[in-house]
Chain A
């Protein structure tokens, strides 16, 4: 029974998500601090490379600069080589667990939702990650954009069953 509950919960967590905790270990508050540190480094790179600059996003979509394409392209290259190496050499986590990456299945949401997100991305100059960094960088009004994004997510959840997938 307990197993079934856990299975259902995992299924629900995987719904419409790429990014999921695949670990079966329980982590303490202190153990979670390592994600905070990765986040901090990430936030600094976001700011210092101007990835979260509204101006740079306009430039990207207006095809006036290679900067953002270079960043995404080289990030994917490094990411793909890493994932390949992890799979090829069966690299384990520091805790000794098998590394799992759930494959994605296709649904129409990736088209409709993708287009909607793209439109919002060029308007706000931010995808979800950069919103947190822009806020931290001192653009206080971005809290409104973030709250609105949370509301958008909530409304999606509310009407999920009625949307084409």
Chain B
């Protein structure tokens, strides 16, 4: 139980969440909307984009609360025992940039409370997080809504969005992340 799951098991399991959510309650699979429902329930202001009946979408908040609990359960009982096994070139590149702790899900050498208050940490976590929240809503969905749900339903706008996610990710991983790590 302490080994990572292979892609050919994990992928189909994630794909199955689409029919499961549709069949148990007519819900289309997606996660980023939860960020909008949090805005709508906590600080809608007079912004029309947030003034809708968010209680109708409360299932989505239950869903993400479950993802959070799933993370806790995995860390308590099922945690992957060794450090993540990554490509040696990536390992070298990270080591050159001071990232040697490969044990968690995020690099503890950067994603920690001390680094948060440096330029490097601020860019990675605060600016990165902002782009995730702003970008997913602007695009109308994230990896789950567009790349998995939208593509499964053969929606070409979702294909456009998914291609743009990947282009953005390539630019970021090849140019922006190395720059930030070098700071």
The verdict on A39 contacting B129 (CB below 8 Å), with A48-B74, A110-B157 known, is no
Q: Which B123-175 residues have a C-beta within 8 angstroms of A?
A: 123-158, 160-174
Q: Of A45, A91, A123, which contacts B172 at CB under 8 A?
A: A123
Q: Of A15, A18, A148, which contacts B150 at CB under 8 A?
A: A18
Is the pair A123, B127 in contact by a Cβ cutoff of 8 Å? yes
At the interface, is chain A mostly helix, strand, loop or mixed? helix
The verdict on A123 contacting B123 (CB below 8 Å), with A22-B28, A102-B28 known, is yes
Could you tell me which B residues sit within 8 Å of A by CB distance? 4-36, 38-39, 43, 45, 47-53, 56-60, 62-75, 78-80, 84, 86-87, 89-90, 94, 102, 104-107, 111-113, 116, 123-158, 160-174, 176-177, 180
Residue picked from B11, B20, B146, most chain A C-beta under 10 Å:
B11
Is the pair B126, A113 in contact by a Cβ cutoff of 8 Å? no
List residues of chain B with CB within 8 A of the CB of A82: 15-16, 18-19, 22, 152
Interface residues on A, range: 35 or more
Residue of A nearest to B131 (CB): A120
List residues of chain B with CB within 8 A of the CB of A15: 49
Q: Of B11, B51, B66, B134, which contacts A43 at CB under 8 A?
A: B66
List residues of chain A with CB within 8 A of the CB of B131: 116-117, 119-120, 123, 152
Query: What 0/1 readout, one digit per residue, does chain A (95-109) give for beta carbons within 8 Å of chain B?
Result: 101011111111101
